[in-house]
Amino acid sequence: MLEFDCSLKRGDFSLEVAFSAPSPGVTALFGRSGAGKSTLVSLLSGLATPARGRIVLEGTVLLDTASGINVTAEDRAVGCVFQDARLFPHLDVRHNLEYGLRRIRGREAPIGFDLIVDLLGLAALLARRIRELSGGERQRVALGRALLAQPRLLLLDEPLASIDAERRDEVLPYFERLRDELRVPIVYVSHDFDEVLRLADHLVLLDRGRMIASGSVREMCLSEELHAIVGAGVAGTVLEGTVERIDSGARLATIRCGELALRIALTQLEIDSRVRLYVPADDVLIALEAPRQVSARNVLPVEITRLEVLNGSVLIHLAAAGTSLLARITHSAVRELDLAPGKRCFALVKAVAAQGRRFDRRPAAP
């Protein structure tokens, strides 16, 4: 558990943020530029000290201005991966990786060199000089260097922002691997909602130096504060479930999320593995009667719980067998179908919709 509560003023900018994040797990600090994300990173890492604040990580007080406690950045053991990697140009990859490991000062070192080299695919890079690395390779080395310093918390500050969009997929799977295989709590700072969806469990929403909402990614996907920031076109629902059935002939997999069963296009899934899927609100249609002979593979009886008006379109909040879904439709459709809270109808979800967006796979819970 990470508890954070700090305030600080710098010229015109003032920051006043309090949140707590469960651990282990990935907490995303999400907001537009100027929201205060970078300031939060320096406060967490100890590179900056707030006028007033308290930071507690797993019961250890890292900062408490009221009682004069301020563990320095050197002793805080908060591993940082910066947007610009910040690898040391006079050292080769191996010595960059070992830099933090040589300075753990008697702390336990459960994260071994070979493990990291293996997990991040660095074996071929060890003897290289920093200037010979691509952007993605740099970030992998920076990630390995931070992890080998045996951090109590890993802080990722827009680690993909300086990498071309096409190259991000070379790095993202490594983040997923370390999230799943190491038990280090992670704070992931980003302004890219796709990355957040793919990696985070918990979301802290920031705007102009204030925390405006926080909660699990599933809850936050339904929050109006988030929709206001990412825009209606990106809104959608995160569902978590287990692979119940695989029909290789029809190339469909059935995902069980509580009482809801959803059929999605088959990717590389194993039966009984836990998956997370994202159903974009744009890909959910609403029908008053159950249609027959329709291409959508999922026709779900639902009940409307709320209408949310957002920049010219309406987000319909639906309850489907104990789970929430979002559908985005026009005002005219709302009027024509006479949609209102409490009304029962059918949600049509295309099987490819969930697959078309990102897919997350996690090892089954022990």
**Residue of the chain from 37, 76, 179, 263 that contacts other proteins (CB under 8 A):** 76
Binding residue (CB under 8 A) for other proteins from 11, 59, 74, 293: 74
Both tokens assigned to 333:
């459709």
Answer for which of 11, 59, 89, 106 binds other proteins (CB under 8 A) is 89
Of 8 and 296, CB closest to other proteins: 8
Minimum distance of other proteins from residue 117's CB (angstroms)? 17
DSSP string, 149-197: T--SEEEEESTTTTS-GGGGGGTHHHHHHHHHHS---EEEEES-HHHHH
* Of positions 77, 125, 133, 347, contacts other proteins by CB under 8 A: 77
Kindly state whether residue 134 participates in binding other proteins, applying the rule CB under 8 A.
no
Q: Any contact of residue 45 with other proteins (CB under 8 A)?
A: yes
Binding status of residue 209 toward other proteins by CB under 8 A: no
184 binds other proteins (CB under 8 A): no
Question: Encoding tokens for residue 174?
Answer: 């490594």
- Between CA 174 and CA 294 the distance in angstroms is 39
Q: How long a stretch of residues is the chain?
A: 366
Gap between the Cα atoms of 38 and 25, Å rounded: 20
Footprint (CB under 8 A) of other proteins, residues 292-331: none
Q: Is 47 in the site for other proteins (CB under 8 A)?
A: yes
149 lies in the binding site for other proteins (CB under 8 A):
yes
Amino acid at 32: R
Q: How far is the CB of 47 from other proteins (least distance, A)?
A: 5
Closest distance between other proteins and the C-beta of residue 234, in Å?
A: 31
**Nearest approach, Cβ of residue 133 and other proteins (Å):** 12
Stretch that binds other proteins, among 85-93, 221-229, 244-252, 337-345 (CB under 8 A): 85-93
Cα-based distances in Å from 176 to 188, 198, 202:
12, 8, 15
User: What is the C-alpha to C-alpha distance for residues 202 and 182, in angstroms, rounded to an integer?
Assistant: 17
Should residue 144 be labelled a site residue for other proteins when binding is judged by CB under 8 A? Answer: no
Does 146 help bind other proteins (rule: CB under 8 A)?
yes
CA 181 → CA 31, 57, 216, 305, distances in Å? 28, 20, 21, 38
90 binds other proteins (CB under 8 A): yes
Question: What burial letters (b/e) apply to 192-231, b meaning 16+ CB within 10 Å?
Answer: bbbbbbbbbbbbbbbbebebbbbbebbebbbbeebbebbe
The residues binding other proteins (CB under 8 A) are: 45-47, 72-80, 82, 84, 86, 88-90, 99-100, 103-105, 129, 131, 145-146, 149
